[in-house]
Amino acid sequence: QHPSTSNLPSEATVILRDVFGFSTFRPHQEQIIGRVLRGESTLAVLPTGAGKSLTYQLPAQLLPQATVVISPLIALMKDQVDRLPPAVQERATIINSTLTAGEVRDRLRAIAAGKYKLVYVAPERLRQRSFLFALRHCGVSRLVIDEAHCISLWGQNFRPDYLFINRAMNELGQPPVLAVTATAASDTIHTLQTMIGPLTVVQAPVFRPNLFFQVIQVRPGMSKARSLIELCRKINGSIIVYARARQTCEDLALELRSAGVAADHYHALHPDRAGVQERFMNGKTRVLVATVAFGMGVDKADIRAVIHYNLPASLEAYYQEAGRAGRDGLPARCILFFSENDARVLRTWLQSTTITRENLRELYRQVRRTITYPAGVIDLDALQSQFGPAGEVLTRVGISVLEQVGLLKRHFDLPLAAVVERTGTVAATDWLHHLPREAIEIDLMLLAHQHNIPVAHIEAVLLEAQAAGLLRYRPGLRLPLIELLSPPADAGERVEGWLERFRQYQEQRIESMVDYARSQRC
């Protein structure tokens, strides 16, 4: 469909040319910009590199008040702002956790004075009522939800902060919304519509003519590693190889290097991830063998091939990962190794992780053991490779618990009872009740470390909560613990129901991948 140009005011074309320096719109940009200007809430699903940022950066220049952009990664925000044309950059600002309260106040004042057209905000602010009220008072023209797939409870990049979006919308006075993402599974669309209200989806066909998809059938006796090395030798330019296990990444990179290919590996536990990424970005490393930990926010246009050494966990994940090839529009290859055994491995992996409440307890104990004082973080990757979906469940639970206490900090002026009461309406607090009681134990040191706040502050709130009978706080030198009192009676059933849904969802995803690989193999 060709949206007519007359939909856009002529200033839009002038800004496109004179401010952004582009002569024409890319497909769909015009249509989306028109909708944003008219105040029609929209979900834009366009592949990476399609130019989603322009669809809010440009209208922001024409709207009377600030456009607020919720963006999930501090690094992404900074990168976006750095790349804005000077005239736009001058009127853009970032509000994230690195600012002091004083600095936040100053920026809010500047927004109220009309200095900023674009305000990038971290998702945690969605929870902060005082901030949202202040923002509303300053004037908000539009709300943009970047990387909108992070809202999906079941998705890989789920962020509990986004669950507050519905409430945040009210507090901001229901501005029209533009949600943008490169991958929108139906549950993302559904969640957005539930949380935000009716949205029209503008979706580009996923077809990218410069990408050549190929499935290589792995036969018994065939050496995958040898085939991979051959492929890497034949293909010129940068290549990402995705493998499931960290050890496989290390082994393959080593083999590639012995075969004379400039290769390196990347995974969540690599001690120098920034260095590895840097060398790949600047072309010193030609082939990067990585787990899926490598990807989000990586913007390298000239990747000539994405090779999947193992079957990805879902078709959606496959499109997202393979889609990192050929962003410059030049021909690129997406190659998937497939064997029936791979499919079996995926299914077994899922089956072996059907969890009971007892398992959950045991797993949680293990989680706690992996949190090592003082600089411990929950190691998502290790958990997932150890426990599969169960690990994923647990890390989310763990993160949510941490997030809850993070709330205490952000609502410092509120008594804890009020915090619990207010957040009780959203799913985030629900997580607490999904847990066996002994699982609700938190390493405050870790928390303090992650949120960069004095332990004494958290302790003060916890003591207050204890006095109010809401929780029991057991101070200790290394592992101060808290326990929430009286989880609801049906907590166990809810855990099981929830886990079952999660399992079914995973199963569906795996089967979609296997079907695809079978239908395409050659």
How far apart are CB 194 and ligand ADP at their closest, in Å? 25
Instruction: Find the shortest distance in angstroms from Cβ 454 to ligand ADP.
Output: 38
Toward ligand ADP, which CB reaches closer, 66 or 69?
A: 69
Cα gap 261→226, rounded to integer Å: 13
Residue 8 has a CB neighbour count (10 Å cut-off) of: 21
Decide whether 302 or 490 has the Cβ nearer to ligand ADP.
302
Q: Which of 439, 267, 424 is nearest to 355 (CA)?
A: 439
Q: How far is the CB of 20 from ligand ADP (least distance, A)?
A: 7
Nearer to ligand ADP, 127 or 159 (CB): 159
CB of 35 to ligand ADP, least distance (A): 16
H-helix segments, 213-272: 224-234, 246-258
CB nearer to ligand ADP: give 46 or 448: 46
Nearest CB to ligand ADP, comparing residues 306 and 408: 306
**How is residue 6 annotated by DSSP?**
G
Within 13 Å of residue 21, how many CA atoms lie on the same side as its CB? Answer: 6
**Which residue, 178 or 218, has its beta carbon nearer to ligand ADP?**
178
Interacting residue ranges for ligand ADP, rule: CB under 6 A: 22, 25-26, 29, 46, 48-54
Closer CB to ligand ADP, 90 or 106, in the complex? 90
Is 297 or 374 the residue whose CB approaches ligand ADP more closely? 297
Please give the torsion angle defined by the CA atoms of residues 108, 109, 113 and 116, in that order, rounded to the nearest 10 degrees.
Answer: -30
Closest CB to ligand ADP among residues 48, 359: 48
Q: Which CB, 49 or 415, lies closer to ligand ADP?
A: 49
Q: Rounded to whole angstroms, how far apart are CA atoms 307 and 304?
A: 10
**Position 326, amino acid:** G
With b for 16 or more beta-carbon neighbours within 10 A and e for fewer, the 141-177 pattern comes to bbbbbbbbbbbbbebbbbbbbbbbbebbbebbeebbb
Residues 6+ apart with CB under 8 A from 60: 66, 67, 117, 118, 141, 142
Nearest approach, Cβ of residue 74 and ligand ADP (Å): 17
Residue 238 beta carbon to ligand ADP: minimum distance, rounded to whole angstroms = 18
Under a CB-based contact definition with an 8 Å cutoff, are residues 390 and 359 in contact?
yes
Residue 315 and residue 517 in contact, taking contact as beta carbons nearer than 8 Å: no
Q: What is the DSSP string of 472-503?
A: EEE--SS--EEEES---TTHHHHHHHHHHHHH
Nearer to ligand ADP, 53 or 157 (CB): 53
Report in angstroms how near the CB of residue 328 gets to ligand ADP at its nearest.
Answer: 10
Q: How far apart are CA 342 and CA 338, in angstroms?
A: 7
Least distance CB 131 / ligand ADP (angstroms): 26
| 206 versus 463: smaller Cβ distance to ligand ADP | 206
Smallest distance from ligand ADP to CB 52, Å: 3
Q: Decide: helix, strand or coil at residue 453.
A: coil
* Cis ω before 374 (30° cut-off from 0): yes
Shortest CB 299 distance to ligand ADP, Å: 7
CA distance 178 to 33: 10
Residue 58: CB minimum distance to ligand ADP, A = 9
Taking the complex as a whole, how short is the minimal distance between the CB of residue 51 and ligand ADP, in angstroms?
Answer: 3
The two tokens of residue 377 are 């973080």
Residue 301 is classified by DSSP as: T
CA distance 331 to 23: 24
Among the listed residues 382, 366, 379, the one whose alpha carbon sits nearest the alpha carbon of residue 245 = 382
Rank residues 49 and 376 by Cβ distance to ligand ADP and give the closer one. 49
DSSP labels, 392-437? HHHHHHHHHHHHHHHHHHHTTTS-HHHHHHHHTTSHHHHHHHTS-G
Rounded CA separation 298/288 (Å): 13
What's at 231, amino acid-wise? L
Rounded to a whole number of angstroms, the minimum distance from the CB of residue 180 to ligand ADP is 7
| Residue nearest to ligand ADP as judged by C-beta position | 51
Q: Are 394 and 369 in contact (CB under 8 A)?
A: no
CB nearer to ligand ADP: give 69 or 132: 69
- The least distance separating ligand ADP from the CB of residue 474, rounded to whole angstroms, comes to 47
Q: Would you state the structure tokens that stand for residue 267, as one six-digit string? A: 């995974």
